[in-house]
């Protein structure tokens, strides 16, 4: 019972933070959006994407030899990869692949971001 209460409190806190972030995005002016390099709708999509999706995308990027922080610096790439991951229908395959550390990147062909990860890897010289 106590665990359920803690989970509920965490859920309420996350919902509050989510609403606060969306209000901040809505309050941004055009100049701020230009500096960020993303549209208001792209920012809203990022905030609305479940944390589990971002974690899965980050794990897959690492498996492809990429630095997730470097990807995040290129906001357009990050938004694209996250959106693709959020709409993926291969989450079961993804979970199995990520759980099996013996499988190389060639086995990640099911991932709709696979070609993008390979291109980013090639461009980074990794």
- The single-letter DSSP state of residue 37 is T
101 or 46: which carries more pLDDT confidence? Answer: 101
**What pLDDT shows up at residue 22?**
82
pLDDT score at 55: 94
Q: Average pLDDT for residues 63-92, to the nearest whole number?
A: 93
Cβ pair 53, 82 in contact under 8 A: yes
107, two tokens: 């086995």
Most confident of 21-35, 65-79, 101-115: 101-115
Coil vs helix vs strand at 118: helix
Q: How far apart are CA 29 and CA 7, in angstroms?
A: 36
Identify the helix (H) or strand (E) that includes residue 61: helix 51-63
* CA 49/CA 85 separation, integer angstroms: 10
Residue 81 in this model has a pLDDT that exceeds 80 = yes
Distance CA 29, CA 85 (A): 28
Residue % of the chain over a pLDDT of 90:
49
Cβ pair 61, 81 in contact under 8 A: yes
Q: Per-residue pLDDT tens for 82-107? A: 999 999 999 999 999 999 999 999 99
pLDDT in tens, 15-44: 788 889 889 988 888 898 888 888 898 888
Contact status, residue 28 vs residue 40, Cβ threshold 8 Å: yes
Residue 5 pLDDT greater than 60, yes or no? yes
pLDDT band for 125, please (50, 70, 90 cuts).
low
The domain locations on the chain are: 1-48, 50-126
CA angle (33, 35, 38) in 5-degree steps: 50
């Amino acid at each position: 019972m106590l665990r359920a209460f803690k989970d509920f409190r965490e859920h309420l806190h996350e919902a509050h933070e989510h609403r606060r972030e969306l209000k901040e995005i809505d309050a941004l002016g055009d100049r701020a959006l230009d500096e960020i390099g993303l549209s208001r709708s792209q920012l809203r999509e990022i905030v609305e994407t479940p944390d589990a999706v971002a974690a899965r995308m980050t794990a897959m990027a690492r498996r492809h030899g990429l630095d997730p922080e470097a990807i995040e610096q290129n906001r357009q790439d990050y938004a694209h990869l996250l959106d693709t991951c959020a709409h993926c229908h291969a989450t079961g395959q993804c979970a199995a692949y990520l759980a099996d550390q013996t499988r190389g990147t060639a086995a990640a062909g099911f991932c709709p971001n696979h070609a993008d990860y390979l291109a980013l890897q090639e461009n980074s010289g990794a």
